[in-house]
Chains A and B, each alone.
Chain A
Amino acid sequence: MSTFELYRRSTIGMCLTETLDEMVSNGTLNPELAIQVLVQFDKSMTEALENQVKSKVSIKETKWVGEKAKGHLHTYRFCDNVWTFILRDATFKNEECQENVGRVKIVACDSKLLAQS
């Protein structure tokens, strides 16, 4: 099963990466083992999002129809099967909370790549 390294940039992924960095640099951990942990994290995180997370959000730009997140699209690019959007003045809403951000970056990998493997 192939995985995205995408989620390593999330909070949990960064925490893990920093931990592994620390343990490798002070000699506690074998670097190869650290990489295996990261790969396992990729898998586990992907599975968890697939199986455990049910909340839904819909995103639309200002003229997008949705109500969950509004904003205007500042940047969009599609490179190497990765979409990157930068929204300005976006509002994210879900069932429980609403967040306003001046600038948010959305990075999305192609889900089909995951399904293929």
Chain B
Amino acid sequence: MAGSVSSVYLQVIEDVISKVRDEFINSGAGETVLGELQTIWEARMMHCGVISPNMERPSLQKQTGPITPVHDLNVPPVEEYETPTAEMLFPPTPLQTPVPQTPLPQTPIQTPLPGLDQMYNIPTGPSDYALVSDSRNGGDMKPGRPSPYMPPPSPWMNQRPLGVDVNVAYVEGREDIDRGAPHQPMTQDFFMISAGKRKRDDYASHLAPGGYMPQQDGSGDVEIEFALQKETNFASTGVWGKIKTDSISNVLIRETPTLPQQDGAQDEYDELFHFQEVTNEDYNTPTPAEHDLRAPTPLVGTPKPTKNEAAEDDEPPLNEDDDDEDDLDDFDQGEEETNTQHLVLAQFDKVTRTKNKWKCALKDGIMHINSRDILFNKITP
């Protein structure tokens, strides 16, 4: 059995080596490197005990003939193998991850760092122009974002403060922002709700020139926040309070241009909390008619879910942690029983279950059980 496994392994090695030979030569790496690869590979396999040094491999000898190290390996049995093995085995461990993904390591590192920096930079005061252009860039970036493995041009990302906001902001909100922000005030309001910081800046700049802001009232998102807050304050006063609240809030908004800034000044999280608390009360206290009167109210309803979703978005990591814990548990259990990981790697043709009776048609598999490798062609019922 072991013999057949070894021979299959050796043939695989041979096959791989022979088929990448052209690549090696074309890329300039040359046969020497290829030979080294094969030597080390086989040495490691011997170290693992899956192939024996005495295995006959005539075809290998042919191929490896010109390559000196391999040739050496074939002549003397064990000792020659072990020297290289020990040398090779000790150093390599540190860089296991980078290798398969070699182009990648730079990108993941660079992206988050600029992002963090820019997060802090944003509040300090990007201009409106910067914001708009950035938001567009952010929109462009968005598709790339889910797959961290894409090598994005890092300088490009570094320059865009919005890269950060894109990461933070909720996706749908971002899209609205990107497309609508420059032109339509309504979308700007959406924008403001989903991503507090950026909107705040935009909004403040818009407010600054004119003290009177009809759009504010009409758009209502912002206004509602104010009104709601007022309502909480006035809650004790009862129905009267609510009616007054609207007028008062409007007055307040017009009188004090600082109001929008107040909203903006709040951190996203603070806003979140205020918002949710207030709105909850809002739903309980006022009659639906009042909501209808205030056109914005439905808008408030829409943004809220996005915020809630955002809050929910924060939760999945927790779930992931749970998964990790499970995995850890499994792993621990495995460790308790044995240090070796028993593993079967295969392809399945069909997996069916009837009550507690499972039928798995697996094929072309490698088992690693009790430090032994077993190859199989089929697992059948």
Residues on A close to B: CB < 8 A?
Answer: 4, 6-7, 9-12, 15-26, 28-38, 40-41, 43-50, 52-61, 63-66, 68-69, 73, 75-76, 78, 83, 85-86, 92, 94-97, 99-112, 114
Contact = CB atoms under 8 A, between A and B. Distances in A.
A28 B33 contact: yes
B66 interface: no
B381 interface: yes
B52 to A, nearest CB: 13
B360 interface: yes
Q: Which 8 A-B pairs have the closest CB atoms?
A: A31-B102, A22-B92, A102-B337, A25-B95, A49-B364, A111-B347, A15-B44, A108-B348
Given A9-B345, A40-B19, A49-B364, 20 more contacts: A6-B345, A12-B9, A12-B373, A15-B41, A19-B41, A36-B23, A37-B16, A37-B20, A44-B12, A48-B12, A49-B365, A50-B377, A56-B379, A59-B379, A60-B358, A64-B381, A92-B367, A97-B1, A97-B372, A105-B344
B95 A24 contact: yes
Interface in B110-142: none
Nearest to B378: A56
Most buried by A among B98, B344, B363, B376: B344
Interface residues of B, number: 74
A52 B24 CA distance: 27
B238 interface: no
Nearest to B357: A63
A78 B13 contact: no
Interface in B339-381: 341-349, 351, 356-360, 362-370, 372-381
B192 interface: no
Contacts of A7: 345, 366
B287 interface: no
Chain B CB within 10 Å, residue with most, of A30, A65, A69: A30
Contacts of A61: 356-358
Contact of A99 (B27, B29, B370): B370
B368 A11 contact: yes
B207 interface: no
B23 A33 contact: yes
B89 to A, nearest CB: 8
Nearest to A75: B330
A66 B378 CA distance: 13
Given A17-B96, A64-B381, A12 B374 contact: no
Interface in B1-59: 1, 4, 8-9, 11-13, 15-16, 19-20, 23-24, 27, 29, 33, 36-37, 40-41, 44-45, 48, 50
B8 A52 contact: yes
A16 to B, nearest CB: 5
B338 interface: yes
A4 B359 CA distance: 23
